[in-house]
Structures are given as structure tokens and as C-alpha cells.
Structure 1
Amino acid sequence: MQIVIAQFVLALGGLFLGTAEFAAMGLLPSIAETFEVNMPTAGHLVSLYAIGVVVGAPLLTVVTARMEKRKLLMGLAVLIVLGNAGSALAASFGQIGVARFVAGLPHGAYYGTAGLVAASLVAREKRTQAIGHVMLGLAAANVAGVPLVTWMGQVFGWRSAFGLVAAGGVLLFVLLPLVVPTRPADKDASPLSELSAFGSLQVWLTLATAAIGFGGMFAVYSYITPTLTEVTGISEAQVPWMLALWGLGMVVGNTLGGWLADKSLTGAILGFFGWTVVTLALFGAVAANVWLAGLALFLVGIGFALVPALQARLMDAAPRAQSLASAMNHSAFNLSNAIGAWTGGLAISAGLGWASTGYVGAALALAGLLIFAISLKLQGKD
């Protein structure tokens, strides 16, 4: 029971981080109005958060290599509070830009460290399931967290949404020492040993697999609101319910994927990439039908099972630098966000229509599958 409670609290951190990351996209119009900037300028806040993730994941992991893991998680909780409280209290667009960068800093390091801690609490044959339980927080963010703070933003103003996430960070800081046992760093850990991860070809190929292959999901997600309103024909108020179906799929994917990955890690990654290729293409084909589009989004969400599976593979690829490898997994997924949004935007700008993002996404997922196949071919030769 203690392990279950510890995993629940670790997942709470994922819930708060995921809520802050994805809800910010829906709050951009209100933020733009407050600071009197246009939407493209307001969109820089999303980019600043992503930059914070990419910078923070390796930097914080390397400099804290010898730090006891529970204390590290508590320190990251403090950054969650500072970044989101700063966002809520920002008096200018420049200030909220800095705050969003700070809010992104703990993202990758938290998910990576929390996944390692969760895995350390169970037997090796259950480690991917444990990582998946932590990732359930991110799935729950899409089911409940994002709709909640989006509603709060509409009723009480966008500042209340970031304020709620900051309060969640305080709760996380209080709960971590109460339920998560101390996990000392590896006695051989050092900044130099963590940096050794960058010398592994398998690490780079796995990161590329995540960055490009998972970009398929973000090609659809980045443009999901206009696709559903313009192609599917639902109202904007109904969009959160469709996103909740995606989130439910993520919950199923995390649970099922972790179990399958512990049976066969390589098989699970290959299988879920194939699943993602098919379901993204399916969404492109059925986007005009509300019932089939909802089913397709649920099925696409199941492909989120790739997140814990790829993190487990990175841990195997960098046995002397598991903390950095795990954290970089989430930097790769934030890079996939940018790749997906860019490629999906190219298709839309070319006049292929909103639903074309499904086919673009399928192509990216197929590219990720091919990179992973190359990784398997070269395994043991780096």
C-alpha cells in the first residue's frame, strides 16, 4: 500500500506539470488580451516553456547527480510553485515570459526522477508499469486538469488557473517527504558519469525516435480545436469532451503499455508505434464524423504507452546515466511538440485541410518506427 501511495503522490506532480503545460495553450487568447499582444506573440509563451524543459532537463539532472532523489523532487516542486505563481502574478508580458521559462525548467527532471524513484520501489520486471503509473498524472491532466483550469480561466480569469497549479506544487512539496522514501543517488553518480549518456548512439537514436515519432500525436493535438470545429462540426464548448476521450485513451495506454513493456520492451515499442501510425491515419479519414472522430482520438491516446516504454529503453541504453537519460526523454517529447506543430502547420498552409494533420502525424509516427528499427539494427555496435 505504501508503494501505491508513493506512486500516487509522484503522479500528482505529473498532473500539475501536465495541467500547466497544456492548459496554457487554451489560455493564450485571454493572456494576449490582458497584455495587449497578438496571438502569435502570445504563442511565444508556449515556446518559452518548451525551451525551459529542454534546458532544465539536462542541466538540473547533471548538477544534482549526487543529490538524494526525494530532496531533488522537493526542490523541483519549489520550481513548479515559483514558475506558476510568477505566471499568475506577472505584471507584464516580459514577466510572464520569464515565469513560463522557469515553470518549464523542472518538467523533464521531475518526470525523469519520479520515474526512476517509482521504478526503484518495485521489482525490475514491474519497472515500466511503475513508470507508467507516474505518467498517469500526465494522462489525468488531459482528462480532468486541463478542463478544470480552462473552466477556471473562463470564469475567474487566466491567473486563477496558474494559481491553482502553484497551490498544487505546494501540496506536492508537503506530501513528498511524508509518503516517498528516501532514495540515495548512485554512489558512483557524478556530473561526468551522467554526461556519459551523450556518448551512446543508442541514447541518441532512442531520443530521435521519441522526438520525431511522437511528433505525430502533436501534429494532430496542436490543431485539434479548429479541426473539430471546422471539420467535425462541433462547438468550441464541446472540444474539452473530445479531448477527455483522448485523455482516457492515454490512461488506458499507460496502464496496458506498462504491463506489455515489462513482458517485452522491444515488442511493445514496435507494436504501439504501429498502432499510432494506423490510428492517426484513421483520425484523418474519419474527422468529419463526430462519433468516429471521438473513437479515433481515444485510440490515438492509447499510443501514449510509448512514453514509459521509451523511458525504460533509455534507462537500459545509459546504465551509468539513468537520471539524465530519463529526463532527456521528456525533452525529446517537448521537441516532438514543436516538430508536430510545424509539420502539421505546413500541411494546413499548403491547403490540404485541417484533417490532413492526421496523415502528417501518421507519417511522423512511421518515421519514428523506422528510426527505432535502425536502433535495433545497430544495437550493440556503439
Structure 2
Amino acid sequence: MTSTSILAAIAGPILTIAIGRLDRRVVVLGLSLLLIVSNVLSMITTHFFVLVIARIILGLSVGGFWAVAMTAQAKLVPQEKVAKAISIVLGGFGIGTVISVPFASYMAAYFDLRSVFMVGCILAIAVFIIQLILLPRIPMEQGVRGKDFLELLKMKNVITVFVIAILIVGGQFAAYTHITPFSSK
């Protein structure tokens, strides 16, 4: 959990800068493939080190997807619908997190962990296929530069939002790591 969340937090800004003007469809599909690779490695490994690598790959995928999804969805809808699209994307992140982690814990209690990763892999493949079929090209006129990102970090409101997000998401995932031990008693 720790390696995944730390990499997700680091991957978002770095990936946003690194991908430049690359078509966001290609990026989203690549991040979805990383999710599949992570689940396959997690499902088949018998070594803890490989599992940690798989979870690091998951962190890269999730962090990148969180960062890229906002700009990608803004290009898919008319300007007057961007706020609604952002709400839908963020709602999807929230619903996915609230459902997936407890469901995975429930499955792990009644099946083995490989089954949990297999279900995750099947769902990731299904989403990848849907994206491949339905997601149009999402060209970008310009990418985010490191300088742009550093300018954001100078804004008090942006720092406030970052701190709130870190506390909420960090608290949420920290709580998940303690739910199972208490629920089994």
C-alpha cells in the first residue's frame, strides 16, 4: 500500500510534465496497460519483491491516470460542460475507491489473493477494450512544463488544495490498511 500510494503521488506531476503534447488517448491506454501488467504480476508472483514491483507499477498507473484524466476529459466535452465532466471523473474515482478496496478485502477473506488480482485483471482488460473502442484521439496543443508546475506551487490556494487532497486521500488509504485487522475480530 505504501509503495503504491507514494508512487501515485509522485507519478502524477512527473508524468504530466513528461508526456508533453502526446495524444491523451495513447497515454490513457498506456496507463491502462500498466494496470493490467500490475495485476498479472501480482496474480502470478510467488516472490514478495515482484509483488512490490507490481504495486509500484500500479502506483505509476493510478497516479498518472489521476493526473491525465482531468485534462483528457476537458478536451472531450464543450467548454460549458467541463465542470460537470470533472465532477463525473472525480465521482468515478471516489466510487471506484470506495467499492474496490472493501470488495477486494471481502474477496481476500473468502478466496485467495490471486483471485482478487485475477478479478482486477479481468476488469482492467474490459476497461482497456472499452477505451480502445470508444475513446477518440485527444490531441494536446501544448503540454505542461516543469516551470508551469512550479508556478502553481507558488499559489496559496493551490497549496491548500494539495494539502487537503493529501490529508483526505492519505487518511482514506491509511484507514484501509487497518480495517481488515479490526473487522476480523
Deviation at 1:63, TM superposition (A): 1.8
CA shift in 2, pair 1:195/1:157, >3 Å: farther
1:67 aligns with 2:22: yes
Residue in 2 that maps onto 1:182:
137
Residue in 1 that maps onto 2:108:
153
1 CA distance for matches of 2:178 and 2:32? 30
Report the residue type matching 2:101 in the other structure: V
1 CA distance for matches of 2:88 and 2:115? 28
Deviation at 1:105, TM superposition (A): 0.5
1:186-225 matches, cutoff 5 A: 186=141, 188-189=142-143, 193-200=145-152, 201-202=154-155, 203-212=158-167, 214=168, 217-218=171-172, 221-222=175-176, 225=179
Deviation string 1:193-219 (CA, Å, 9 cap, x unpaired) is: 25421123124443234324x368539
CA contact (8 A) 1:65 1:194 kept: no
Structure 1, unpaired ranges of 5+: 1-45, 230-235, 238-382
Report the residue type matching 1:206 in the other structure: V
TM-score (norm 1): 0.42
More contact order relative to length (CA 8 Å, sep ≥ 6):
2
Q: Secondary structure at the match of 1:67?
A: coil
Deviation at 1:103, TM superposition (A): 1.0
Q: Secondary structure at the match of 1:66?
A: coil
Q: Secondary structure at the match of 2:46?
A: coil
Report the residue type matching 2:43 in the other structure: A
CA shift in 2, pair 1:179/1:223, >3 Å: closer
2:86 to 128, 131, 134: 131
Deviation at 1:158, TM superposition (A): 0.7
Deviation string 1:277-335 (CA, Å, 9 cap, x unpaired) is: xxxxxxxxxxxxxxxxxxxxxxxxxxxxxxxxxxxxxxxxxxxxxxxxxxxxxxxxxxx
2:41 to 83, 86, 95: 86
Report the residue type matching 2:35 in the other structure: I
CA contact (8 A) 1:198 1:204 kept: no
Report the residue type matching 1:92 in the other structure: H
2 CA distance for matches of 1:149 and 1:226? 11
CA contact (8 A) 1:119 1:130 kept: yes
Query: Which range moved further: 106-115 or 146-155?
Result: 146-155
Report the residue type matching 2:47 in the other structure: S
Deviation at 1:220, TM superposition (A): 8.2
Structure 2, unpaired ranges of 5+: none
How many residues were matched structurally? 182
Residue in 2 that maps onto 1:291:
none
2 CA distance for matches of 1:132 and 1:145? 19
Residue in 1 that maps onto 2:121:
166
1:1-382 matches, cutoff 5 A: 46-186=1-141, 188-189=142-143, 193-200=145-152, 201-202=154-155, 203-212=158-167, 214=168, 217-218=171-172, 221-222=175-176, 225=179, 236=183
1 CA distance for matches of 2:163 and 2:149? 14
Report the residue type matching 1:55 in the other structure: I
Percent identity between the two aligned chains: 23
RMSD of aligned C-alpha atoms? 2.9
Deviation at 1:143, TM superposition (A): 4.9
Deviation at 1:142, TM superposition (A): 4.5
CA contact (8 A) 1:53 1:104 kept: yes
Deviation at 1:81, TM superposition (A): 0.8
